[in-house]
Amino acid sequence: RTRVLKINDVESDCSAILEAARLIQGGEVVAFPTETVYGLGANALDATAVQKIFEAKGRPGDNPLIVHISKRQDVDRLVRELPPAASTLMERFWPGPLTLILKKSHLIPDTVTAGLDTVAIRMPRHPVALRLIEYSGVPIAAPSANRSGHTSPTTAQHVLDDLDGRIPLILDGGKCQVGLESTVLDMTAEVPTILRPGGITYEMLTEVLGQVRVDASALKPLKEGQPVKSPGMKYAHYAPHAQVVVVRGELDQMVERINALAEEYIKQGMKVGILATHETKDYYKEGKVLVLGSRTQPAVMASNLFSALRQFDDLGVDVVFAEWIETKDEGLAIMNRMLRAAAFRVIDA
């Protein structure tokens, strides 16, 4: 069985974090909270330990992991080159939900990077994550702590639902504040390129760097045979058991179309979920309506997306109709995840 240790405060609960750190040092895996989602961590410098992450998750070996550090200077021995722009971003956004792709040093085992010449590095800002890395004394490789292909966990209970019996320990630090995985930014590209949008937005990065690209895969399925820059983006992801369909259009048109679809499916005996927003929720007539938040606060909507998808599963919903969200600020990350959850099924209202 998997043990769960509640951390209310990093000072008074430091013995639990120390226990987790000993597991990491002993080559075991531990799930821990970050400000984005829960991670499943192992010593990033120990290939055998890292292998256990892939086994626990059922993750394909060609999908590389993010290496988590607790101090800015930890980067230096993990990379071969540090472009000045990367240093600027670290100053500005670390600790926080920004992962930088840099040229890796020989210290990083191939299992971590899936054989790539680059490594993904981030400094999380969750106090439990920072303390765990510090106590472990090594960088921690960690993907999201879900079974491969599932929705990323934003609570310790989500981790337990997916990995109970497969890992020794979960540190429970409560609900993750950002709720979507970090922004992955490729700093080895000619122009810094967002491979996965997240909490540090395109707008925030552009303000600091001037020019930033968003990889074409952000809102589109990869074409067959197209080279994959961020291997994680090629897998069916964030998939709840229910079939998700995104409906796009003006607010009133979306509502009208979703009401019509819901009626039709319910008539056929299906259980229907609706992923709504504060602005629209009162206009739905049937179906199980969950609200992401207000359209004026995309960061709040982002923080609720994954738990809403898991809630639909708990409710036994067969199909979810989800409203399109404007793709500015955190909206880009929301739609990146939502479209993957929907396997890119989109209906124009």
Ramachandran angles phi, psi of 256, nearest 5°: -60, -45
Is residue 196 a known part of a binding site? yes
Q: Does 39 bind ligand TXA (CB under 6 A)?
A: yes
* Cβ pair 345, 246 in contact under 8 A: yes
Residue whose C-alpha is closest to residue 309's, from 297, 298, 321: 321
**100 interacts with, out of ligand TXA, Mg ion, none, CB within 5 to 8 A per kind:** none
Q: What is the Cα–Cα distance from 347 to 258, expressed in whole angstroms?
A: 10
- Min dist. Cβ of residue 335 to ligand TXA (A): 16
Q: What are phi and psi of 109, to 5 degrees?
A: -70, 155
Residues binding ligand TXA: number (CB under 6 A): 30
SS3 label, residue 144: strand
Any contact of residue 99 with Mg ion (CB under 5 A)? no
Q: Which of residues 177-216 bind ligand TXA (CB under 6 A)?
A: 181-182, 184, 195-196
Q: Which residue is nearest to ligand TXA (CB)?
A: 232
Peptide bond into 127 cis (omega under 30): no
Say how many residues touch Mg ion, by CB under 5 A. 1
**Considering only residues 137-156, where is the footprint of ligand TXA by CB under 6 A?**
142-144
Q: Which residue has the tokens 């898991």?
A: 310
- In DSSP terms, 184 is beta-bridged to 99, 196
Near ligand TXA by CB under 6 A: residue from 214, 231, 291, 297: 231
What is the token pair recorded at 72? 């800015």
In the complex, minimum distance from the CB of residue 208 to ligand TXA, in angstroms, rounded to a whole number: 19
Nearer to ligand TXA, 182 or 280 (CB): 182
CA-CA-CA-CA dihedral for 97, 200, 65, 304, to nearest 10: 70
**Which amino acid would we find at residue 255?**
V
Quick one: CA dihedral 20, 98, 112, 154, positive or negative? Answer: positive
Residue 144 makes contact with Mg ion by CB under 5 A: yes
- Give 120 or 255: the residue with its C-beta nearer to ligand TXA: 120
Judged by beta carbon, residue 184 or residue 258, the one nearer ligand TXA is 184
For residue 242, the tally of other CB atoms under 10 A from its CB is: 20
Which CB atom, from 174 or from 231, has the smaller least distance to ligand TXA? 231
Residue 1 annotated as part of some ligand binding site: no
Residue 150 is labelled as binding a ligand:
no
Residues 106-125 close enough to bind ligand TXA by CB under 6 A: 113, 116, 118-120, 124
| 100 makes contact with ligand TXA (CB under 6 A) | no
* DSSP H helical ranges for 154-221: 156-163, 202-209
Q: Which two tokens stand for residue 203?
A: 């707008």
Residue 276 β-bridge partners: 291
Nearer to ligand TXA, 199 or 293 (CB): 199
Helix, strand, or coil (residue 289): strand
Piece of 60-68, 212-220, 269-277, 324-332 that binds ligand TXA (CB under 6 A): 60-68
Number of other residues whose CB lies within 10 A of the CB of residue 265: 18
Q: Least distance to ligand TXA from the beta carbon of 185, Å?
A: 10
Contact 219, 246 (CB under 8 A): no
Minimal distance, residue 213 CB to ligand TXA, in Å: 14
Binding residues for L-threonine: 36, 68, 122, 142, 182
Residues near Mg ion (CB under 5 A): 144
Residues near ligand TXA (CB under 6 A): 34, 36-37, 39, 63-66, 97, 99, 101, 113, 116, 118-120, 124, 142-144, 181-182, 184, 195-196, 229-233
